[in-house]
Amino acid sequence: MSFSMLAAVAGGGAMGSLARYLTMSLVGRWVGSGFPWGTLLVNIVGSFLMGIVVEMIALRYSVSQEVRAFFAVGILGGFTTFSSFSLDAALLIERGHLMMAFTYIAGSVVAGLAALFIALYLVRQIVAGG
């Protein structure tokens, strides 16, 4: 892994994270915080942009791995990892691996939520018991 690849991902990641923070803050001010509208918007927009970036690079532009990583992994990964999740699931579906896609989608959602709840429980037990 080269320094230029790491720099591309890090630089893009910083930009994407800042864009996520600003987007979620603005949406929260506009519509309130009773529902995670900002996160929903970021996930949808990030997935849409991932589709554009990946297809444009594949069909129209020949770019270096660093440029590809800057946009897809860095900016969009920093903006929302949901876009990466969506791309991975779409690739499995397009390749005809429907069972693998279903397993990946269900596993990511169910196991991700389960891991979060387990972590919440463990930290609460440690903090409350400590």
Question: What pLDDT is recorded for position 129?
Answer: 74
Is residue 85 in some structural domain?
no
Q: Which residue has the higher pLDDT, 15 or 1?
A: 15
Q: Which residue has the higher pLDDT, 50 or 112?
A: 50
For residue 44, pLDDT over 60 is answered with: yes
- Are 45 and 107 members of one domain? no
- Are 13 and 76 members of one domain? yes
Provide the b/e sequence for 90-109 (b: ≥16 CB within 10 Å): eebeeeeeeeebeebbeeee
- Are 9 and 66 members of one domain? yes
Question: What pLDDT is recorded for position 100?
Answer: 93
Question: Count of domains in the chain?
Answer: 2
Identify the residue whose tokens are 């979620």. 24
pTM given for the model: 0.77
- Are 15 and 62 members of one domain? yes
Q: Give the whole-angstrom CA distance, residue 72 versus residue 39.
A: 18
Q: Which domain holds residue 22?
A: 3-80
Sorting pLDDT into bands at 50, 70 and 90, what band is 130?
Answer: low
Is residue 86 in some structural domain?
no
